[in-house]
Structures are given as structure tokens and as C-alpha cells.
């Protein structure tokens, strides 16, 4: 797309053109052959459908052209922006109508600008009447009114593509080949291929049914084995009821030690009750990280000796007070 726009002298750029779906135009797809009809349906289904009776012309701003060449069997794809301009007015009047501000520096009067026609190009002198249409609706652009003639101009947006149909096959690489551009087969070969595909599909369905049956059979055997195991466990439980009885830890402790255990020792734990947080035991001598550990240690030593110490200053000896 960038290359196409760069090659144009005055590229036409309209941001609102991409707000709606483009109009699809097909050319030369009405020939003989089912592959042409199939291609036309594929190209039409690539874009949203447009109801001609209810569509608003203001929303049709782009068109996509698919042109088929029967000789080369190639399909040219082009993408254009649609522009509608009023007919019957000169280039200078078009500028005034469309709202563009002209350059009047070289004109003495507005009439000189309107009557001036030497600046027109060859394409502007040769206005094709085939592009003239009568508008059934009003357009938001200036000068395009209902039941008035307007000219339709196309500005290429890109990309440009040239494609060719090579093969049409049913399914995804597993069906019958409906069309092939390079290989042509007889009716006998087509029938043989068709029978081969039918046989392969039939075997595939049979394998699928067999796998379903095997799966159901395995599930039934698994369920029977489960019921058998549960039944055996129930019989064993009924034969040995004493083994299933839980032991009383409190009675065992009393028999072995000869003392009644504490009530909290063998209390049943409640699974719903959250465990109590463990408290850190207090250390009277201090613990690592305690700032007052040295002070507490010193005060404990002073009480045990039964004497008081008096500091008379830095670097002096400590005197002991005599008992009275």
C-alpha cells in the first residue's frame, strides 16, 4: 500500500473511508464452469453483505475489484477509494464549492480566477460521461445533492495483487478434488479415487465405533472391579470388628505409668479450630537483640552480693559501704 501511494502525485487519503466495509465488484465471473461460481461466492462472502435498498451512500467510501481474465486465467485485485464530485462546474468553482481557499495573489478580481482555464490537465478536459450518475440521496460533501448529476472518481489505495486458482478440494486435504488447473483426469480415474475415499471414510467410522465400544467396556470393567473391592472390604470389616476399634491412649497411659494423665494431654483435637500461636519463653538473663540485657544482669548480681556500688568518676576505684 505504501508503494502505491508513493507512486501517486497527489494521493487521496481519507481516514473515514475505513470505518465501513468496502463495496465488492466482480468482473468476468459469469463464464462457464462451477469453479468460477465458487470463486465468486468466496469473494462475496469475504466481506459483509450490502442491502441496496436500505444502504446509505455516505457509508460507501471504498470498493474492491476482482477482475478475471479468461485468457490468462488470472485474477487482478485492486482496492480504490470512492470520491464523488459535482458535474458542470469548472476547476476553480469546484475549489470554492468544496471549501478550499484558492490563491488569488495573481488575480485582480475573483472573476479572473473563475474564468481562468489554462491550468487544467488533459484528464480534467476529458470528462468521461460514463462516470456521471444521478444521486438518489444527498451526500455530506458539498455540491452533491439528490437528483443532481455527479462524477465518480476512484483513487487507488492498494495493495495490488494478481492471483490464480490452482485447486479446489472438499474438506481439508482429505476429500475429493473438484478442480485442478494442472492435472486433468478421466472419469474412470475420478470414480476410482471416489471409491477409495469412500472406503477410507468407512474404515474411519468403523474404527471410531470400535474405539467407543472398547472405551465403554473398560469403564464397565473398572466399575465392576471397584464394586467388588468395596464389597470385599465390607466383609472383612464385619468379620474383624475388634481390629477396627480405636485404642484408648488415656487408659494405656494409666496402665503403664500408674498415674492419671492430664486432661489436655489426650484431649481430642478439633480440625476446624486453628492452632494456638506459640509464645516465645522469657529469658531473665536476656536474649540476643535485647538492649536492656546487660542492665538486668548487673542488677541481679548486685542483689545477690548484698552490697551497693558507688561510682565516683571515670577511672577511679569502686568503694564499698560498710554495714552499720
CA distances, 4 to each of 9, 13, 153, 158, 256 (Å): 11, 12, 17, 6, 100
Residues 6+ apart with CB under 8 A from 21: 47, 48, 50
Pairing of strands 62-69, 23-27: parallel
Preceding peptide of 246 cis, ω within 30°: no
Which one-letter DSSP state was computed for residue 65? E
Q: What is the pLDDT of residue 118?
A: 46
What are the DSSP calls for 85-117, one per residue? EESS--HHHHHHHTT-----TT-SSHHHHHH--
Please compute the mean of the pLDDT values over residues 27-34 and round it to a whole number: 87
Residues 6+ apart with CB under 8 A from 5: 11, 13, 157, 158
83, burial (CB in 10 Å: exposed 0-12, middle 13-18, buried 19+)? middle
Instruction: Please determine, for residue 25, whether its predicted confidence score (pLDDT) is greater than 90.
Output: yes
Give the model confidence (pLDDT) of 71-99 as tens digits.
Answer: 999 999 999 999 888 777 666 666 666 66
Rounded Cα–Cα distance for residues 322 and 307 (Å):
9
Global model pTM greater than 0.85: no
Instruction: Please determine, for residue 176, whether its predicted confidence score (pLDDT) is greater than 70.
Output: yes
Give the model confidence (pLDDT) of 227-272 as tens digits.
Answer: 888 887 777 666 665 554 455 677 777 777 777 877 777 666 555 5
Q: Which of 139-148, 195-204, 298-307 is least confident?
A: 298-307
Q: What is the pLDDT of residue 71?
A: 92
Q: What is the pLDDT of residue 261?
A: 77
Per-residue confidence at 125, pLDDT binned at 50, 70, 90? very low
* Annotated domain spans of the chain: 1-87+127-165, 168-231
301 with 285: CB under 8 angstroms?
A: no
Amino acid at each position: 500500500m505504501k508503494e502505491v501511494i508513493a507512486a501517486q502525485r497527489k494521493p487521496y487519503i481519507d481516514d473515514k473511508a475505513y470505518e465501513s466495509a468496502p463495496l465488492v465488484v466482480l468482473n468476468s465471473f459469469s463464464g462457464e464452469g462451477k469453479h468460477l461460481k465458487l470463486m465468486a461466492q468466496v469473494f462475496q462472502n469475504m466481506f459483509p453483505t450490502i442491502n441496496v435498498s436500505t444502504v446509505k451512500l455516505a457509508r460507501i467510501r471504498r470498493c474492491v475489484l476482482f477482475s478475471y481474465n479468461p485468457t490468462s486465467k488470472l485474477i487482478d485485485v485492486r482496492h480504490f477509494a470512492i470520491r464523488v464530485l459535482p458535474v458542470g462546474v469548472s476547476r476553480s468553482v469546484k475549489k470554492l464549492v468544496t471549501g478550499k481557499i484558492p490563491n488569488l495573489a495573481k488575480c485582480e478580481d475573483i472573476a479572473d480566477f473563475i474564468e481562468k482555464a489554462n491550468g487544467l490537465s488533459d484528464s480534467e478536459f476529458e470528462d468521461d460521461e460514463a462516470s456521471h450518475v444521478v444521486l438518489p440521496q444527498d451526500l455530506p460533501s458539498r455540491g452533491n445533492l439528490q437528483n443532481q448529476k455527479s462524477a465518480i472518481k476512484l483513487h487507488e489505495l492498494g495493495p495490488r495483487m494478481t492471483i490464480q486458482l490452482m485447486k479446489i478440494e472438499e474438506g481439508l486435504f482429505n476429500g475429493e478434488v473438484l478442480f485442478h488447473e494442472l492435472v486433468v483426469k478421466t472419469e474412470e480415474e475420478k470414480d476410482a479415487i471416489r471409491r477409495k475415499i469412500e472406503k477410507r471414510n468407512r474404515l474411519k467410522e468403523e474404527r471410531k465405533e470400535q474405539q467407543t465400544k472398547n472405551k465403554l467396556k473398560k469403564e464397565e470393567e473398572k466399575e465392576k472391579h471397584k464394586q467388588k473391592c468395596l464389597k470385599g472390604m465390607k466383609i472383612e470389616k464385619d468379620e474383624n470388628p475388634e481390629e477396627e476399634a480405636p485404642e484408648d491412649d488415656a487408659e494405656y497411659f494409666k496402665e503403664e505409668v500408674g498415674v492419671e494423665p492430664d486432661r489436655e494431654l489426650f484431649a481430642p483435637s478439633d480440625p476446624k479450630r486453628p492452632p494456638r500461636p506459640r509464645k516465645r519463653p522469657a529469658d531473665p538473663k536476656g536474649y540476643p537483640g535485647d538492649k536492656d540485657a546487660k542492665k538486668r544482669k548487673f542488677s541481679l548480681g548486685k542483689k545477690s552480693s548484698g552490697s551497693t556500688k558507688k561510682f565516683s568518676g571515670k577511672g577511679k576505684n569502686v568503694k564499698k559501704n560498710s554495714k552499720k
